[in-house]
Structure 1
Amino acid sequence: MTEHHTQQDRGYTDHVGPRGPAVRGTVVVVPGRGETRDTYTRLGKRLAADAYRVRVVDAARLDAEDPGGSLTRLGARIADAVAGTADADGAVAHPVVLVGADTGAVAVAALLGGEAGAGAAGLRTDAAVLAGIPARTASSPSGSWDDELDVRTFCPAHRTTLTGDAVFRRGALHEAVPERLLAAAHASEADVPVLILAGDADPLSDRDALTRTAKSLPQARLSVVRDAHHDVLNDMQHRSVAAEIVTFLEALRNGLVPLVTVESSAW
């Protein structure tokens, strides 16, 4: 079930499955440049079907003139969103996992790495999924809306969703990401488990930099999605990507020990 709240009231969209002790954790999704909460309806419903409480907040807005301040404010907003998922007894379902896409991933990585006083913002999380982190030297798409769509996704359903969303900001990938925050994301020292997702057809990605970031973190995995573009959470491979996220969430609940191992395989 989806509970939708307009941007004029509470500023988030909820996707909920079972109630009470059956809830397996809390996921907060932070969209990126141009995206709206509706961008992640499909992902939210899918994770909710696996008994995770999903809350999608409004997109990260990173101010190049005040990157630290905008990050701190975002951290406080995410912390409020997490706190708002508490049940009648005041308990939030753990693990609490942040999922960031594009600049949402940049912001989450920088926050968890200690940039701009995340602790002071009250942000506490058990893990993170970082999808589509742009390269520090990424060039923005030029040309038509179709050109931007080609950078983002080849999924026909998602292209239709983006095209039909009157609130989605076309051309947003032209907006520069504050260099300080990009540097902080790529050099993040997050001390929680991190799943990094990248499409191998993403023209805005720097795989070498992501590999270095993953290797520098104490508990990180870099998963590369074949033929996926910048919107790796919403491209043609969205089912497999959602399954990768659920596998990560379930392993997280089991102390990062995989619940399924392959003992023998012919493929």
Structure 2
Amino acid sequence: MLPWKRLLRPLAALLLSAAAVTLPATAAHADSAPHSGWNDYSCKPSAVHPRPVVLVHGTLGNSVDNWLGLAPYLEARGYCVFSLDYGQLPGVPVFHGLGPIDRSAEQLASFVDQVRAATGAAKADLVGHSQGGMMPRYYLKFLGGADKVNALVGIAPDNHGATLSGLTNLLAYFPGATDLLKDTTPGLADQLPGSAFLTKLNAGGDTVPGVHYTVIATQYDEVATPWRSQFLSGPDVHNIRIQDLCPLDLSEHGTIGLSDRIAFHEVANALDPAHAAATTCLSALS
């Protein structure tokens, strides 16, 4: 084995460990965890909330653990809520979002069609964390999703790549390391700044007409860095830094999607802008 490959092993482990901050401690039990009421295919959207909400987990996440906070929050407000697993690798349970992202977008497309058929809704709203806030843009742009989706809300989405606070720059010192990453965990390689996937995704503009985009970022993000790279440019985009709403909010990449009630309040505002309420530090109590 080449010496650099021996060195790459701890680097790869470090990359995965850094990405794993998106997961709560319950991840090891995801297969048996209850959905707490969501993914109820008998749910029919109300006149107040006429579109189902599809939750899209992040890298190394899954359909349960990423949403133990937000799914009940939205259900309690009258939404039909659904979540999917995507990007599975053979022999890797629980930790998903590691497969090629264009194929993950195809899985999302099929799931949205399934949800629309079950609920009778013409369109769905998408809420995603990390990769789950970026990957749907491929679905919207290349797989016909713009006709089936009203809004995309990204919580800490790596829209222009994830540098892990500069850690991915170390890959340049290991010839062939990026290719090895592509072969073993293509979903991680696709998220490297400058990857072929991201180049295609962002060519010609960040957004597509007809979809409302919201990005919710934290300045303390240590994964989708620099944090301003999460923001989108376009005519129907609302970019939010959570600390502008509540300077006391110290959430980082994982907690902003898992448990941040300030972020949850902004998700609710994005899903129902006609009834949006000002988000302040007190929103964490609502």
Q: What is the TM-score of this pair, normalised by structure 1?
A: 0.63
CA distance in 2, matches of 1:242, 1:20: 20
**Are 1:209 and 2:225 matched, yes or no?**
no
2:60 to 34, 39, 43: 34
Superposition deviation, residue 196 in structure 1:
0.4
**Are 1:51 and 2:78 matched, yes or no?**
yes
Q: Deviations over 1:163-221 (max 9, x none)?
A: xxxxxxxxx9x93335233335554223211110112111123333334x2xx211111
Q: CA 1:16–1:181 in structure 2 vs 1: closer, same or farther (change >3 Å)?
A: same
Aligned-residue Cα RMSD (Å) equals 3.6
CA distance in 1, matches of 2:111, 2:157: 19
Q: CA 1:123–1:85 in structure 2 vs 1: closer, same or farther (change >3 Å)?
A: farther
Unaligned runs of 5+ in 2: 1-29, 88-96, 168-184, 244-249, 280-286
CA contact (8 A) 2:123 2:148 kept: no
Q: Name the counterpart of 1:183.
A: 199
CA contact (8 A) 1:106 1:185 kept: no
CA distance in 2, matches of 1:74, 1:20: 23
Equivalent pairs: percent with the same residue?
Answer: 18
Superposition deviation, residue 137 in structure 1:
5.2
2:46 to 1, 16, 21: 21
Superposition deviation, residue 72 in structure 1:
4.9
Q: Name the counterpart of 1:130.
A: 154
CA distance in 1, matches of 2:61, 2:162: 21
Higher helix share: 2
Q: What is the TM-score of this pair, normalised by structure 2?
A: 0.59
**Are 1:233 and 2:257 matched, yes or no?**
yes
Higher strand share: 1
**Are 1:107 and 2:139 matched, yes or no?**
no
SS in 1 for 2:239: strand
Superposition deviation, residue 41 in structure 1:
2.3
- Give the stretch that moved more between structures: 97-106 or 226-235: 226-235
1:73 to 106, 110, 116: 106
SS in 2 for 1:190: coil
SS in 1 for 2:264: helix
SS in 2 for 1:197: strand
Aligned length: 202
Unaligned runs of 5+ in 1: 143-171, 263-267
What letter corresponds to residue 31 of structure 1 in structure 2?
H
CA contact (8 A) 2:68 2:258 kept: no
